[in-house]
Amino acid sequence: MRVRRRLQPRRDGSPRRGQAAAAEEIWLGARFSDGDFARLCAETSLELRKSFGNVVLCGFMGSGKTTCGRLLAEATGRRFVDLDDFIERREGMTVAEIFAQKGEPAFRELETRAVRELSLAAGLVIAAGGGTLLQKENADALRANGVIVLLDVSLETARGRLKGDSSRPLLHRGGADAIGGLYRARAGLYRSAADLTADADGTPEETIRAVRELLAPA
């Protein structure tokens, strides 16, 4: 009788292979490289978070996170939370007032505290602030219990949507090209933080259709 060797854990207690990969190796004779195994784990994690986790919308100012978040929540039966509104209600101050009276570092601390709380909930559509995902701690917390979707808006479209908007403190810094400077500084960070990316230059309805296609099971 052939005796199959039991897979032994590593010294740190973690298994040498996940159960699914180990089963494939034992029963079907498949072999997985470390790269294959990492990819399978990442794909499985994403599918689980898409099915059972929160949906976090991130992106530059003017990408439509709040509008699209409300529509997505309504379409999927989830509860919508706008992170900036969540902080404003808790603090009894607008984001602009917090920036003016306490400064940006204080706001970022409040933001991280709110992220920690919301990342423990389930069944949410969360519209993250424009700077939320720039902090790795926030991105890691939100990804642990959800899928992060970048609403990818072009600089030209963002300029048009933000024209005349006086409610965003960061737009009043950096001179005439404040929007362009912020956009260029943040674009790569958004992409690295996101699990999925949807075009957001069209109407909110078009954006939501794109997001729902991305969230559909693979």
Confidence of residue 44 (pLDDT cuts 50, 70, 90): confident
| 173 and 100 within one domain | yes
Phi and psi angles of residue 124, each rounded to the nearest 5 degrees, phi first: -110, 155
User: Which residue blocks in 103-218 are alpha helix, DSSP H?
Assistant: 104-118, 136-144, 155-162, 178-193, 204-215
| 76 and 40 within one domain | no
Q: Which amino acid is at 44?
A: T
| 103 and 65 within one domain | yes
Q: What is the pLDDT of residues 100-135, one digit of tens each?
A: 999 999 999 999 999 999 999 999 999 999 999 999
Does residue 2 sit within a domain? no
- Candidates 47, 53, 55; CA nearest to 217 is 47
Query: Taking 90 as the threshold, does the pLDDT of residue 77 lie above it?
Result: yes
Strand order in the sheet with 146-152: 79-82, 124-127, 54-58, 146-152, 196-199
Query: Taking 80 as the threshold, does the pLDDT of residue 20 lie above it?
Result: no
Domain of residue 21: give its range. Answer: 11-51
More confident: 3 or 144:
144
